Amino acid sequence: MIWDTLILIRKTINSYRPMLKGEHSKRKNYQLLSNKYLWTLLFVLISFGLYQLTKNGKNEVVKTQLPKEKVSTKTTSLTKPKKENQFINSEETAQSNANSGTFTDNRDGQAYQWVRLKDSKKWMAQNVNYEMDGTWCYDEASTNCEKYGRLYTWQAANNACPKGWRLPSDEEWWSMASYYGKAYNSYAGQEKIEGKDDGEVAYKVLMEGGETGFSALLGGSHSSDEGFDYLGSLGCYWTSSEHNASNALGYYFYIHSRGLARDSYNKGLSYSCRCLQD
């Protein structure tokens, strides 16, 4: 644009040059008038050229700004799904960290509560009440089964847990109790020492009404020789661990000592059981 304007100015000056030469030789006043006219014309042409240059410059700026608005719109739309995914992930994390809940045994439709204890495992917070061979309701009363669950021989207890759950081992019971003081090791002949914790703390927090929500119950026992006994005073729970061919290990809550203890029992006796899930 500037180059075209300069060419136009040059052509205009050349067109007036012959006329100005003739007039300048005759009249001095006319020479002054012609010079003023020429400079005025030159100023107008230069101003017009600058105006066109400025106008075109503005148009170029507008054109270069338009694509930026489109890019900005696309960037905003891409950020929305990321926020939704973050919300879904946080929701899933919260469910996996739950400390209590319920589940249903698909075999008979019974619902059970569970709690996550300090060992990070999920323990049933109710005694198993699944009817099968080798099980009894205390005193043959269904109301006792509803409250305390059924009493199982060791062999039956190993098959009593719902799918996805299992009977805890001796090591798992011992480890869980150690987070709440400890269990008294009656099986090893551990000597009781006055003033020492012999399972009292674990008894207090794991029993029904305790702060853990485990809610151990004193459901009694059954044997083929003596029948039913100890309801309301003893609650014994089988482990999956054998002691020998005749005996297996279990943990019992005893109201008179107000403690939790570990011992070995004949596999033919019937006790309560709880199930575990990792």
The span from the CA of 29 to the CA of 144, in Å, is 135
Q: What is the pLDDT of residue 198?
A: 78
Q: What is the pLDDT of residue 183?
A: 93
pTM for this prediction: 0.65
* All residues at 6 or more sequence positions from 204 whose CB lies less than 8 Å from its CB, including other chains: 210, 258
Question: Each residue's pLDDT tens digit in the chain (278 positions)?
Answer: 555 655 555 565 555 455 444 544 444 444 544 555 556 656 666 666 666 655 555 444 444 444 444 444 444 444 444 443 333 333 333 445 689 999 999 999 999 999 999 999 999 999 999 999 999 999 999 999 999 999 999 999 999 999 999 999 999 999 999 999 999 988 766 555 555 677 999 999 999 999 999 999 999 999 999 999 999 999 999 999 999 999 999 999 999 999 999 999 999 999 999 999 98
Q: Answer for the pair 16, 36: CB distance below 8 angstroms, yes or no.
A: no
Sign of CA dihedral 5, 10, 13, 14: negative
Q: What is the pLDDT of residue 89?
A: 39
- Where are the domains positioned within the chain? 2-95, 100-277
* All residues at 6 or more sequence positions from 273 whose CB lies less than 8 Å from its CB, including other chains: 127, 128, 149, 152, 157, 160, 161, 167, 237, 238
Task: Give the chain's radius of gyration (CA, Å).
Answer: 48
